[in-house]
Amino acid sequence: MFSPERSRLAPRRSRAPALHKTPQGFFVVCLFLVQAPAAIASSADEQQFPDPFVEIDPVVEHHIGLGNMPGAVVLVGHKDAIVFHKAYGNRCIEPEVEAMTADTVFDLASLTKVVATAPSVMLLVQRGRLKLDDKASKYLPAFGKAGKMNITLRQLLVHYSGLPADLRKTRRRKVTSKNVLSRVYQTQLVAPPGQRFIYSDLGFVVLGKVVEKVTGQSLARFAQENLFSPLGMTSTGFLPRRETVSNVAPTERLKNDGMLRGQVHDPLAAKLGGVAGDAGLFSTARDLARFCQMLLQGGSLEGVQIFQPEIVAQMTSPQSPSGKPDIRGFGWDIQSTYSSVKGDFFSASSYGHTGYTGTSLWIDPEVQTFLVILTNRVHPDGKGSVKELRMELANIVGRVYRPAGTPTAELTGHQQP
C-alpha cells in the first residue's frame, strides 16, 4: 500500500504533448492523435484546437488565491483514458510549505463510504453472504435496541434508516474510544425507518461493523484484499504506514500545535481507531481513477472482475424509497440536497459523492466520464471551502462531455433546483 503505481489508464497532458521515444510517451501521443488528429499538425493548428480544459487552471488558481484551499489535484477520465491530471498549489503550508504533487495521498473522508464500505457490503451481497433486506440487528444484536430492530442494510445504504447524522454530544457522557461503539448502537432514532433522508455517518459505521462480523476481518483488510489490491490501487488504504506519511496531505491543526497527517480527520472514525465505515480511507487521484473506470466498465478493469454488471447497476441507480425527493444509490448520491456539486451538465444517470476534507468524485456513465477533485481544504485551520470549486469544475467538464442532443436552453449555466 502507498507504493508508486503505474496505471494503464494513460494520462493525457493538459498541453500539447511532446513526441517521446519511450513506449509510454508513444501511447500518449497515439491517444491524442485519435482524439484530435489535427491538433498537433502544426503550431497554427494547435491554436485552432485549444485545450478543452484550459479553463481549469484559472479556476483552481483563483480558489487557491482566495484561501479556499492550499492546493488541489484534479483528474478527468473519459472512456478508457485519463485526459487531464494536474496538481496545483501546495499540499502543506504549515509548519513548512510543500508543493502539491499529482501522487499526493489524501484523507478521503466520506468518500470512504462509496469506495470501501458500500462496495464491501455489495461484494458480500454478490457472494450470497448478505441480503439487502437483512436486518442489521441480525448481525449486530446490540444495534437492535431503542427501536432499531427492523432497520435493514438497504435503508442504511441509502441513508433512510432514521438514524441521526452523528453522535449527539452530552455533558454527562463524553464520547471516548472505549464507549464510542456502544454509543452508536444505543443511538435513538430521529425518524421512522424508511421515511426520511438523513445523511448519517452512524449508519455507515454500522455497515462497516456488519462487514467485519460476517467476514471475520477488519473492514480495512477485507477492502484491501477484495477491492484495492485486485484493482491495482496500491496507494489506497486505511492507516497509512509511517514511511508513507510524508506523501500525505495534512489536514487540520491540532490543539497542541501539531498537525493531523496520516491520521484520519473525522472525529468518529478517529475514536474507532482510524478504520470505520464512514471515514478513514486514504488514496490518490490515480487510484480513484482506476476505481471509477472499473464502475464504468461494469465491474471489471484490465481483465479483473470485481463486480457483476448487475451489482454495479444496483449500486449506482436510484434505490431510495419510492416517491422520495432525495434519490440515492447504495452509498452514492444521485439527486439529493447534496448533489449540486455535480453542476448543470452531468446527466440524470450520473452519481457521485463528496468528503468533508475537500474531496469529491462524480461519474457519468452516459458519456463515460468522471471527475476527481482532491483537496485538503481544512488545512491548516479548518476554514476552507470548495463547494463553488466543485460546481465550477463540474461545469467545465460537463460542457466538454455533455450528452448528445442536450437542448440549448440547458447550456446557459443555470443552477439546478
pLDDT attached to residue 45: 39
pLDDT category of residue 416 using cuts at 50, 70 and 90: very low
Confidence band of 171 (pLDDT split at 50, 70, 90): low
Residue type for 328, please? R
pLDDT mean over 162-190: 90
Give the strands of the sheet with 327-328, arranged side by side.
Answer: 98-99, 81-92, 71-78, 369-375, 359-364, 351-355, 333-335, 327-328
Alpha helical stretches, state H, 50-100: 56-65
- Based on the number of CB atoms within 10 Å of its own CB, is 13 exposed (0-12), middle (13-18) or buried (19 or more)? middle
| pLDDT over 90 at 339, yes or no | yes
DSSP 259: B
Identify the band that residue 256 occupies on the pLDDT scale cut at 50, 70 and 90: confident
List beta partners, residue 304: 301
* Percentage of the chain lying above the pLDDT 90 cut: 80
Confidence of residue 2 (pLDDT cuts 50, 70, 90): very low
pLDDT tens-digit map of 12-43? 433 333 333 343 443 333 333 333 333 323 33
Res 263: pLDDT: 96
Cβ 314 vs Cβ 122: under 8 Å: yes
What is the enclosing helix (H) or strand (E) of 219?
helix 219-223
Residues 294 and 291: their CA atoms lie apart, in Å, by: 5
**Which among 294, 364, 310 has a CA at the least distance from the CA of 115?**
294
Amino acid type, 304: V
What is the mean predicted confidence (pLDDT) over 206-225?
98
What confidence category does residue 255 fall into, taking pLDDT thresholds of 50, 70 and 90? confident
pLDDT value at residue 342: 96
Work out the burial of residue 57: count CB atoms within 10 Å of its CB; fewer than 13 is exposed, 13-18 middle, 19 or more buried.
middle
Q: What is the pLDDT of residue 6?
A: 32
pLDDT tens digits, one per residue of 49-67: 568 999 999 999 999 999 9
pLDDT at 252: 96
Query: What single-letter DSSP state applies at residue 380?
Result: T
16-25, 108-117, 189-198, 232-241: least confident range? 16-25
| 117 within 8 A of 212, measured Cβ to Cβ | no
**Residue 391: enclosing H or E segment and its boundaries?**
helix 387-400
Tell me the three cell numbers of residue 67: 484561501
- C-alpha pair distances (Å), 186 with each of 111, 142, 151, 181, 272: 25, 8, 14, 9, 16
Taking a C-beta distance cutoff of 8 angstroms, is the pair 141, 245 a contact? no
- Rounded to an integer, the average pLDDT of 198-218 is 98
> C-alpha grid cell for residue 252?
487540520
Residue 170 has pLDDT above 90, yes or no: no
pLDDT at 411 over 50: no
**What secondary structure letter does DSSP report for 217?**
S
Q: Map out the domains of the chain with their CATH numbers.
A: 57-109+218-411 (3.40.710.10), 118-215 (no CATH)
What confidence tier does 407 reach under pLDDT thresholds 50, 70, 90? low
Instruction: Give per-residue pLDDT as tens, 102-150.
Output: 999 999 999 999 999 999 999 999 999 999 999 999 999 999 998 999 9
Mean pLDDT of the chain: 87
Instruction: Confirm if 316 and 332 have CB atoms less than 8 A apart.
Output: yes
Cβ 370 vs Cβ 361: under 8 Å? yes
What DSSP string describes 287-308?
HHHHHHHHHHTTSEETTEE-S-
Task: Provide mean pLDDT across the span 277-297.
Answer: 98
Q: pLDDT at position 174, please? A: 85
Residues 225 and 189: their CA atoms lie apart, in Å, by 34
Within 10 angstroms of residue 268's Cβ, the number of other Cβ atoms is 22
